[in-house]
Structure 1
C-alpha cells in the first residue's frame, strides 16, 4: 500500500501535510470514527481524498454545497481520479446509470447531498456499493445549533446500520464547543478521535473601525495595500455600486454574486485570480473552493449575520502566511439598521404557512398533490402578486428548502436587463412624441436610477404594477424602445427552478417543521448578538473575542488587531484634543473627518477622544453621523 505522503505528492504535488491532516488520515486508515475541525483554508478535503485513494472501494462524500461538490469532482477528474456527484436536477434514469458506474466502473468518489439519502431506492443502491469511507463535509449542518442546520443531515446516522465497519469522518471549518458535541451525538460517532486545529491566525490582524465615511477609509486601506483584496457586501446591488465607487477612485475592481451566469462568474473570477483587477466585491456566494494565497485584505462593508461566516470569509486573507488584514467597517447607524432589518425578515409559523399556501396556489397545486412537480419560478413576480416583502419571502423559501419541503435553485436574476443609450434630454423628447409610453418609461427611471450608466435589472412585475398596465404591454414597449435604439435590451432565461418534494398538506406540513423554525430564529438572534458584541466591545483584543466565541482561550493579546494597535498609541495629549473637539462642536456639528482635518490629529486619536467624550455623556452622535454637544 502506498504511503499517504506518496499519494499527496503524486496527485496534489505537495511535499508535506498541514497540521492536523496527517493525524486525521492516520485515524481514518486505522478504521476509527473521526471528527476534524479545520478552520477555512486548512485543507479538509485532503483528509478524506488521500486515504480513500489508498483503500479498495469508493469514498462516499456527503455535502450540502452543490458548487463545492462540482468543483471537487472536476478537480479530481483533472487529476485522472474517477469521481461522480449526484446533484439536483439529474433525472432518475441518469442517476441509475451513474450508480451503475460507481458499482462497476472503479470510481473512487461519490458525492451527494444529504437529501439524496431520503430516497429509499438511492439508499438501497448505495448499500450495495463497496464503501471504504464515509466523509461528512460541513458537518455543522447536522446540529440544530449549527449556523446552517439541515434536518436531512439527521438521516446520515442511518448509514451506521448499513456500514458498521466503515469509518465516519465528520469535517467542519467553524463550530462552537456546543456544536462540536452535537455533531458527534447526532452522527452517532463511536469513541471518535477528535482533532481541532486552533482558530488563531497569527498573521491576520482583525480590525473593526467605526467611521462615518466607509468609502474614504476603504480608499486609504486599498492604497496602502495594493495587493489582491476581497470586499464583502450583503446584497447584489451593493456589489455593482461598490465597484463603480472604487473605479471612480481609480481602483480596478469586479464583482461576484449568485445572480451571475456561470460564464460571468468564471470571467469575473478569472480577472481577479489573474490579478487583472485588484479587488473583487462579492456577496457570501463567493469563496467556496477559492484558494488564492496572496489576498492581503478582506473588508466587510456590512455587518455579517454570524461570526462563523465572518471568520470563514475573513480567513481568506493571508493564506500565504504573510501579514494580512480582516477589516470590518461600521458606522453608528449600521447597528440600528441591522437589528431592525434582522427582525423584519424573521418568519413565524403564520407567515411561513401563508407563503407555503400561496406558493401552492400560485402553481395551482391541489391539496394532497404536487410531489416531484417542478416549475420555473420568479420570486419578484410571486411577491408582487401577493404583496409580500421579497427578503422575508426569500428567507422563508430558504428555510423550506433547508427542510427538504421544496428544492429551490439559487438563480434569482431577472429575465430583463436594459440600459438607456441616448441622453436624458432625448428620452424626454421621445416621451413627448410617444405619450402612450411615458408612464412605463418614467416608472423605469424612478425605480432604476442607474439605467443611464450600465445595464440594470428590471423587475417587469413591479414596473407593470406601478405604471398600471399589463406585463405584456411593458414588454412590448421595451422591445419597441430597443428597436428604436432608445435602450439596449437583454433578455435572460434564468429564473429560479422550484421543485415540490412533498405533497401539499398546508398547515400539517408547516407544523411538522415549526420547531426547527423557532430554534433557528433563536440561534440567529444569539448569533447576531455575538457579532454586535464583537463590534461594540472596545476594551478587549479582537482576536481574543473571536477565539472565545469558538471556545478557545489565549492568555496574551494578539498585538496586531485594532484594539491592540489603539492601546499602543501614545494618548498623553488626549485631554488637550478633547478640549479642542468640544470647542469645535460648540460652534457647529461636525463629522469625525472634519474634526480630524481641523485638529490635525490622527484618525485613531480623534476616534478615541470622541468615544471617551461619548462615554462621559459630553457629546452625542446623531443619525446623520455628525457629532454635537449633548444638551
Structure 2
C-alpha cells in the first residue's frame, strides 16, 4: 500500500507502520468490518484516519471522550485536514450548521459522541452524508462487561442498517475475550476481520513495592531514573500536594488535573513534554492522546480502580522501546482506604434518583423541560447545598453521563461575557484602525445583537467558526478590546458543566436505567478485586498476571518485574546475617537498614520478619530494630 505509507510519512512523519496497522488499513480499504485490539500506544487513530483520507467521502468517528475528540480534531486541522466535532452542549442550530458543513464543505472527518445517535433527526441527517467509514473508538464501551459501559453505544448498530455497505472499524485498547465477542455482536459486525496485538511489553518492568513511606520511595526512584516520569494520584488535592513535595525535594515537577483552566493545563503539559519538568503529577484526566516516547517511569501512589485503567496508564512508559518501569507503591492501609474511595461510594438506585431530582431542582428545570440546556456547575457547591457526600454524587453523575441522561464535563471551563461600552460609531472607528480584527468584531456584533445594551455571554468557538479563524485569535481580539476600554469583559472559571440530554421525567428516567446500575456496581467490585489480587499475589510474575487478566497465557516469567527480581536476590539468610551485624553497631529503622545495605525494601522486610519470628531482634517505640 504505497499510497497509505506516503500519507503516513507526509502527515505523521513516521517512516513505517507499526504491526498490525498496515493490515488493519488494508482490511478497511477492502470494505471489511474490522475489529482492532491495540494496547495503549499502538496507534489506533492512524488505522481509521489514513484509509479515510484514501477514500472519497467523510469518516464518521464515534467517541465518548470529548477531550480526545477535540485533541484529534485540532491535530487533523493542524495538518490542514478538514475535521469537525459534534459534542454535547451544542445548540440545535449549531448542530445543523455543522452537518451542513459536512454535507457541502468537503470535510474528511466528523467526530460525534454516541449520545447524539439517540436523536433520530441526527441519524437522518447522517444518512445524507457520503460516509466512507464508520470508526468506533473506545469500542469496549458497547459491552456490559467492559469497564466503561455506555448504553448509548448500543445505538451504533442502527448505523449498520443505514450504511449496509460502509465498513465498520471497532477499536479498543483493553478488552477480554468475552468483551471482544460482545462488541462484535452488539455492533452487528459481519464477517469481521480480527487484529489483536499482544498485551505483552517486553521492555516494561511491572513492580509492586510495599512501603510505609511512599514519598521517600518516589525520591529514590526518580533519583535513580532522572528521565521523564508520571506520578498518578487519586484526586486534585493530592495532585498539587505531591507536586509541591517533589519540588521541595529538588525535582522539577508540574501537575495536571481536570479542574485546571485550559491555559494552565497546556502550559504544564508543554513544560513536561519539552523536558523542562521531569515529573508530571496527574490524575487519570491526564494521558489521552499523549505519546511521549521517553517516559522512564510511571508510578501509582494509590491503587487503581481496575486493571484496564492501570494497564493503559502504565503503558505510557517506555514507548521508545527502552527499558522502563510501571510501579505501584502500596502499604497495609491501601486496600481498605481504596475500598472506601471506590466501593463504599457506589450509588444505589434511590441515591441516583435523589441526585437527579435535586439537580433539576437546583437549576429550576420543570417536569418535561430541560432538553439540551447547559449550565455551569460547581460540584462542591451543589453537595454543600444538599448535604450530599461528594464522591458518591460524582459517581452518580458519572453514571447518568454514561447512560446518556446528561453530559457531565468534569473539566474547568471559561465562561466569557462582555458588553460594548462605546457607541457603535466608535466601534467602526476602532475597526478602521485595526482592520485585521474586522472579521471577528463584526461576527460578534452580528451574532449577539443586544451586546450594546446588556452584558452577553459569548461562545468564542462559535465566533471563531463563523469568522473562519482560530479560537485563540478570537480571545486575543476580545482581550485587546477590553484593554482599549471598548468593552466590559468578565471571564469566570467554572468547576465543570452539565448538559441535559433528555427532558426531565424523574421516575421514568431512573427506572429505565436502573437495571444497568446494579450490574455496573457488581462489575466495579469484581474489577477492584482483580486489582487486590494483582498487588497481593507474591507467587507469580507480574507480567504473567496482567496478561492472564486479558486472557493471554504465557508460561515464561518476564525476568524484570518485582517478583522476578526478588527471586534473583541473594539468599535471605545471608541478608539476615548482614542485618544482625549492622544492628550490633546501633538501633536502626527499616529504611536505614535498606539504605546501608543497598537492598530492596522487599528483601529488607522479608529478612526482618525472619529475624523477628526467630526472636533474634525486636522493635522499639521509635520503629527501630535492635538485637536481642
Interval containing the TM-score (normalised by the shorter chain): 0.7 to 0.9
Report Cα offsets for 1:152-194 as digits up to 9, x if no partner: 0000000000100111000001111111111111101112000
Shift of 1:363: 2.2
Q: Could you tell me how far apart the structure 2 residues matched to 1:100 and 1:188 are?
A: 29
Q: Is contact 1:230-1:298 (8 Å) kept?
A: yes
Does residue 180 in structure 1 map to residue 180 in structure 2? yes
Partner of 1:8: 8
Partner of 1:89: 89
Give the direction of change, closer, same or farther, for the CA distance of 1:575–1:59 in structure 2 (3 Å limit). closer
Shift of 1:620: 12
Shift of 1:151: 0.6
Give the direction of change, closer, same or farther, for the CA distance of 1:577–1:604 in structure 2 (3 Å limit). farther
Q: Which moved more, 1:73-82 or 1:550-559?
A: 73-82
Matches within 5 A, 1:137-156: 137-156=137-156
Report Cα offsets for 1:561-581 as digits up to 9, x if no partner: 011011011115258459949
Partner of 1:593: 591
Q: Could you tell me how far apart the structure 2 residues matched to 1:223 and 1:102 are?
A: 52
**Uncovered stretches (5+) of structure 2, i.e. residues with no partner:** 416-489
Partner of 1:524: 524
Matches within 5 A, 1:555-574: 555-573=555-573
Matches within 5 A, 1:58-97: 58-97=58-97
Q: Secondary structure at the match of 1:242?
A: helix
Matches within 5 A, 1:57-456: 57-411=57-411
Q: Could you tell me how far apart the structure 2 residues matched to 1:296 and 1:58 are?
A: 39
Q: Which moved more, 1:76-85 or 1:391-400?
A: 76-85
Shift of 1:611: 5.9
Shift of 1:199: 0.5
Report Cα offsets for 1:455-500 as digits up to 9, x if no partner: xxxxxxxxxxxxxxxxxxxxxxxxxxxxxxxxxxx99432422222
Q: Is contact 2:59-2:135 (8 Å) kept?
A: yes
Partner of 1:45: 45
Q: Secondary structure at the match of 1:567?
A: helix
Q: Could you tell me how far apart the structure 2 residues matched to 1:600 and 1:94 are?
A: 63
Partner of 2:604: 606
Shift of 1:366: 2.9
Report Cα offsets for 1:130-151 as digits up to 9, x if no partner: 1111000000110111111111
Shift of 1:91: 2.3
Give the direction of change, closer, same or farther, for the CA distance of 1:365–1:309 in structure 2 (3 Å limit). same
Q: Could you tell me how far apart the structure 2 residues matched to 1:499 and 1:120 are?
A: 19
Q: Could you tell me how far apart the structure 1 residues matched to 2:407 and 2:506 are?
A: 17
Q: Is contact 1:574-1:605 (8 Å) kept?
A: no
Q: Could you tell me how far apart the structure 2 residues matched to 1:48 and 1:32 are?
A: 13
Q: Could you tell me how far apart the structure 2 residues matched to 1:336 and 1:182 are?
A: 33
Shift of 1:625: 12
Partner of 1:545: 545
Partner of 1:454: none
Q: Could you tell me how far apart the structure 2 residues matched to 1:328 and 1:304 are?
A: 9
Q: Secondary structure at the match of 2:333?
A: helix
Q: Could you tell me how far apart the structure 2 residues matched to 1:599 and 1:9 are?
A: 51
Give the direction of change, closer, same or farther, for the CA distance of 1:615–1:189 in structure 2 (3 Å limit). farther
Q: Could you tell me how far apart the structure 2 residues matched to 1:625 and 1:129 are?
A: 73
Give the direction of change, closer, same or farther, for the CA distance of 1:413–1:299 in structure 2 (3 Å limit). farther
Partner of 1:453: none
Shift of 1:524: 0.6
Q: Secondary structure at the match of 1:514?
A: helix
Q: Could you tell me how far apart the structure 1 residues matched to 2:574 and 2:75 are?
A: 56
Report Cα offsets for 1:209-265 as digits up to 9, x if no partner: 000111111111111111111110010001111111111111000000000011001
Give the direction of change, closer, same or farther, for the CA distance of 1:148–1:223 in structure 2 (3 Å limit). same
Q: Could you tell me how far apart the structure 2 residues matched to 1:371 and 1:349 are?
A: 22
Q: Is contact 1:379-1:412 (8 Å) kept?
A: no
Shift of 1:357: 1.7
Partner of 1:497: 497
Q: Is contact 1:581-1:595 (8 Å) kept?
A: no
**Uncovered stretches (5+) of structure 1, i.e. residues with no partner:** 416-489
Report Cα offsets for 1:98-124 as digits up to 9, x if no partner: 211211222111111111111221111
Shift of 1:397: 0.7
| CA RMSD after TM alignment | 2.9
Q: Is contact 1:206-1:326 (8 Å) kept?
A: yes
Q: Could you tell me how far apart the structure 1 residues matched to 2:615 and 2:149 are?
A: 43
Shift of 1:3: 2.5
Shift of 1:505: 2.3
Shift of 1:354: 1.4
Give the direction of change, closer, same or farther, for the CA distance of 1:75–1:373 in structure 2 (3 Å limit). closer
Q: Could you tell me how far apart the structure 2 residues matched to 1:200 and 1:600 are?
A: 30
Report Cα offsets for 1:397-441 as digits up to 9, x if no partner: 1111111111222136999xxxxxxxxxxxxxxxxxxxxxxxxxx
Number of residues paired by the alignment?
A: 551
Q: Secondary structure at the match of 1:3?
A: helix
Per the normalisation by structure 1, the TM-score is 0.82
Partner of 2:461: none
Give the direction of change, closer, same or farther, for the CA distance of 1:268–1:613 in structure 2 (3 Å limit). same
Q: Could you tell me how far apart the structure 1 residues matched to 2:618 and 2:376 are?
A: 52
Per the normalisation by structure 2, the TM-score is 0.83
Q: Could you tell me how far apart the structure 2 residues matched to 1:76 and 1:491 are?
A: 29
Shift of 1:308: 0.6
Matches within 5 A, 1:437-476: none
